[in-house]
Structure 1
Amino acid sequence: MSLTLLDPPSAEPVSLADARARLRVADASQDDAINHWIQTARARVERDTGRACLAQTWLERRDLWWGEGRLSAFGTRLRLLKPPLIALEAVTIYGMDDTPSEIDPAAFFVDRLSDPGRLVLRPGMSWPQPGRAAAGIEIRFRCGYGDQPADVPAPLREAILQLTVHLAETNGASSVPPGVAELIGPFRPVSL
């Protein structure tokens, strides 16, 4: 299984102006560094929560439907990565001769309301098996809370802002301050 970012977010959940204000920086002399810290903080929050903040498109390549513990309900539901799910764009299966074919969308239901989003087979349907042994299944999906910074939940935006300040004050130290850990805690995946 591999996961590839195809279209990154078009903005950051925290603006340069907000970060400058929190850092008490009045001029543009540190803008490049601040933008870097914002991007690094967002990437860290996304990694630690397993979520996408702003809308982005990903491609998951799989060898088989089974594996990673993501199939449930007797193999009829596949949990997708990177919640929250905005849209499923395509599910492609590759034949033995590497010919791609899209799965008929009528074969499954896209459950965007679950967290994480899922593909749910319709009654009487089964997952089509790929013809090639490696990367025979491709799932292209769009995920995130929305396109605008205000779409991202306030605790995640605050965590990104606090982590940006921490990165600036510690010259990029990788530790996460306790306040940030508390803010992102409710958004972390739960393992049973």
Structure 2
Amino acid sequence: MYLIEQTTVPTAALPVQALKNHLRLGTGFADDGLQDGLVESYLRAAMAAIEGRIGKVLIARSFTWSLDDWRRGGEQALPVAPVSVVSQIALLDRAGVAEVVPASAYRLVQDMHRPRVQAAGFMLPQVPMDGGIEITFVAGFGPAWGDVPADLAQAVLMLAAEYYEGRHDGGQGAGGLPLAVVTLIERWRTVRVLGGAGA
């Protein structure tokens, strides 16, 4: 199983100015935009760290998820949330030739923690022998920074600021996420039960 991000977060959707304000960087100077690239890189790093910890996609983008077989015959949990649309499901034969599954054969069950694809009938389509499945979907709270829940947005700014302020320590800072960030994101973490049987 592997998850590939097909589209990236556009720079315009990132809260570069909000982080600069948070860091209290000076304004009104000729070189105001000089730090923008650095600020953007720390925002992207902070988003990736938080998304990885909580299994949620903050700003909407498209993904392709490849797997060998359905975990359950009648439904398949998706690896991240929230998912707004399943664009396509394709079954691959052993040569990698894809056959698109009709959208009428399944439906998306939206859930803030464990969205899933569910068969329209009793079972999802059978996977060819030695083949696989590719599911393309859009995940995220929305296309703009304003769509991100306030506590997660604050956590990103705090973590990005931590990265920015510790950029000269040569990796000698404390490992892990700061306690304040962990506190903000804790309620968003996906709790797996029964060994992740539905995953």
TM-score band, normalised by shorter chain: 0.7 to 0.9
**Farther off after superposition, 182-191 or 20-29:** 20-29
Q: Is the 8 A contact 2:91 2:98 kept in 1?
A: yes
1:11–1:54 Cα contact (<8 Å) kept: no
SS at match of 1:28: helix
Three-state SS of the structure 2 residue aligned to 1:159 is helix
Aligned sequence identity (%) = 24
**TM-score using structure 1 length:** 0.87
| Paired residue secondary structure (2:143) | coil
**What's the CA shift for 1:164?**
1.1
Are the equivalent residues in 2 in contact too, given 1:159–1:184 (CA < 8 A)?
A: yes
Paired residues for 1:155-170 under 5 Å: 155-170=151-166
- Normalised by the size of structure 2, how large is the TM-score? 0.84
Q: Which amino acid aligns with 1:159?
A: A
The answer to whether 1:177 aligns with 2:174 is: no
Structure 1 residue 12: Cα displacement: 7.0
Following superposition, the deviation at residue 96 of structure 1 comes to 4.3
Match of 2:54 in 1: 49
Aligned 8 A contact 1:54 1:145 in 2: yes
| Structure 1 residue aligned with 2:76 | 78
CA distance in 2, matches of 1:161, 1:13: 14
Check the 8 A contact 2:107/2:118 in 1, yes or no: yes
Coordinate RMSD, CA, aligned = 1.9
2-side partners of 1:20 and 1:91: how far apart? 41
1:133 aligns with 2:130: yes
Deviates more, 1:156-165 or 1:23-32: 23-32
Gaps of at least 5 residues in structure 2 are 27-31, 194-199
SS in 1 for 2:130: coil
Give the count of matched residue pairs: 183
Partner of 2:36: 31
Question: What per-residue deviation string (whole Å, max 9, x for no partner) do you get for residues 159-182 of structure 1?
Answer: 000001111121165531110000
Task: Work out whether residues 4 and 59 of structure 1, in 8 Å CA contact, stay in contact via their aligned partners in 2.
Answer: yes
C-alpha distance 148-186 of structure 1, shift in aligned 2 (>3 A): same
Give the conservation status (yes or no) of the 8 Å contact 2:67–2:134.
yes
Look up the equivalent residue of 2:130 and give its one-letter code: A
- C-alpha displacement at 1:132, in angstroms? 4.8
The CA deviation at 1:101 is 1.1
Q: Give the direction of change, closer, same or farther, for the CA distance of 1:176–1:13 in structure 2 (3 Å limit).
A: farther
Distance (whole Å) between structure 2 residues aligned to residue 151 and residue 126 of structure 1: 35
